[in-house]
Amino acid sequence: MKKTMVSLTLTVGMILISTYALAQSQGDQLYQQAQEYEKKTYYHKAYETYEKARERFLKIGTLEKADACRIEMQQTQKIFSEYPYTRKDVVKLLEENFKYISEDERNSWLEKGKIDFIMSDGKPFYFTDFVANLKYRNPELMKKDVEGLERARRFFGKYQDLVFKYPGSGYPPQTWKPYINPVTFLASASLSVPKGKLPETGLLKLWIPLPIQTAAQDNIRVISILPEGYLKIPPRVDADIGLAYLEVPLERLKEDLNIQLQFSFSHYEQRFMIDPENVGEYDTDSYLYKKYTRSYGNITITSEIREKAREIVGDEKNPYLATKKIYHYIVEKIDYSHMPHMTLNVLGQPESVYVHENSYGDCGAQGTYFSALCRSLGIPARTSGGMQLCPGEEGGHFWAEFYLPNYGWLPVDTSIAQIANYPIELTDDERRAFKDFFFGRQDPYRYVIQKDVDVPLTPEPEEPVLLPMAIQFPAVVCKTSQENPAFVVLDHWNIEFRPVYR
């Protein structure tokens, strides 16, 4: 009897081992198959196959491999969210948004590649913001966009008094005082997520952006972060990126998640008055010089970018005058255009390279291209930002800065300068003056979160966050969430700014 029981136990054990081994093998095969699909740009098929592999691994408790599948699923999900439209969808949206354009001409935009797309599963999928991009890249279409032109006029009107001030009516009284007329902002932020939209268990990790100390931004006060029990690392406002790190144990969450922050800061208007003959000499051995002239991340310098920089500046050796040429080149030659930031991150394509190859990009992308062109010539540059706080037009925004030894960091904002391209009633002199203003000068309506793109988070996340290059809303990691938790956080994040002193 005992021998029979032992034999039966061994048999059951062998069956279990065999079942485990089979499931493990099936999971591994599915994972490898998903990777092959991804290499062939079959992203939808890859997602489905990663999901099947994850199910196999979860059944047998191989959590590390299940996590690897989840991460890959979330990465491919980023691509879906930015390229959601089929050709049929695009044809319908073109008809709805461009009724005044003939069907033949609308179809020609598709045939000539005027609408950004990627190939997935052997079919084209089109960029989510293609309607806006068609207008940005085509002045004739923009002239017919009543709503877009009105928004450009509003923006221009907000900046008009600032840009067209005459010396003595707001300029610094001394040339050595470039930081003037500060505005203090009180910010109130909240993350309010219904409990049902979060996993029941696990740890929700959050990196919440905060203002940082810069030459143009100071008087920073983190007034409150509630509930305080979630805060794991004290807020940092003196580093390259401003962050508060929080952890939320989801199994202890008895009701909706509600996190509240309040902080204040002052931001200065900048009006640099530069003597090109007195910019100083770079210390090429310094940490600053090496850090901000390197090719790195989204500010990658290719041989083609280096060649373009030399073409733009010609024989100009003065760094101030050279950067001015680069600035005006981008303002005039690089169209503003919404970007597939998440997709570029997943595919490993630097933003600077994308802009160089396509001749268009949004605020941050233009900033990375400016920085790459400057760095290729040995001029320190970086792409900083967070939000622009133009009253009534607040939103995420990035710009660039370049460094002169005798002056420090000077701001440039190519995409704000391009607003002057849209209001059709402006004179050429007004357009030129507006564009000139945003080289070495800047309004005080800014909220700076980070000094450059691709700044590492602290503590370092163990897996990719939604958009590592720019943290304009909370970055998030949650291993128990199959879908990317960042999309949930983004939908339920709110921040408001109120000027409290001018």
Yes or no: say if 68 and 336 are a contact pair by the CB < 8 Å rule: no
Selected residue with higher pLDDT from 169 and 483: 483
At 29, the pLDDT band (50, 70, 90 cuts) reads very high
Band (pLDDT 50/70/90 cuts) for residue 18 is: low
Percent of the chain with pLDDT over 70: 94
- The pLDDT > 90 percentage for the chain reads 85
**pLDDT per residue over 33-46, tens digit each?**
999 999 999 999 99
What's the Cα-to-Cα distance from 380 to each of 143, 311, 320, 441, 493, rounded to whole Å?
38, 19, 11, 18, 34
Question: Has residue 450 been placed in a domain?
Answer: no
Claim to verify: residue 72 and residue 148 sit in the same structural domain: no
Both 331 and 205 in a single domain? no
Q: Are residues 287 and 408 in the same domain?
A: yes
Residue 467 has pLDDT above 80, yes or no: yes
Residue 376 has pLDDT above 50, yes or no: yes
Q: How far apart are CA 48 and CA 55, in angstroms?
A: 11
Structure tokens at 82: 């930015």
Tokens, residue 108: 């020609």
User: Quick one: 70 and 219 in the same domain?
Assistant: no
pLDDT at 72 over 50: yes
Domain hosting residue 330, numbered range: 142-163+273-439
CA 458 from centroid of its chain's CA atoms: 18
Q: DSSP character for 165? A: P
The confidence score (pLDDT) of residue 297 equals 98
- Of residues 450 and 156, more confidence is placed in 450
Per-residue pLDDT at 168 exceeds 50: yes
| pTM greater than 0.85 | yes
pLDDT at 220: 98
Q: Does 399 share its domain with 419?
A: yes
Q: Give the C-alpha separation, 259 to 319, whole Å.
A: 46
Whether residues 417 and 315 fall in one domain: yes
Mean pLDDT of the chain: 94
- How many other C-beta atoms lie within 10 A of the C-beta of residue 493? 19
- Residue 214: strand pairing partners: 217
How many domains in the chain? 4
SS3 301: coil
Alpha carbon distance 245, 233 (integer Å):
6
- Residues 285, 421 share a domain: yes
Enumerate the β-bridge partners of residue 450.
241, 385
- The pLDDT, as a whole number, for residue 16 is 47
Report the range of poorest mean pLDDT among 165-179, 233-247, 444-458, 465-479.
165-179
200 with 233, same domain: the answer is yes
Lowest mean pLDDT among 99-108, 164-173, 257-266, 432-441: 164-173
One domain, residues 279 and 383: yes
Mean pLDDT of 54-82: 96
Q: Name the percent of the chain in helix, strand, coil, to the closest 5.
A: 45, 25, 30
Which CATH number does the domain housing residue 65 bear? 1.20.58
The tens digit of pLDDT for each residue in 325-340 reads: 999 999 999 999 999 9
Burial-class residue 51 by CB neighbours within 10 Å (0-12, 13-18, 19+). middle
Residues 346 and 421 placed together within one structural domain of the fold? yes
The predicted structure's pLDDT at residue 462:
96
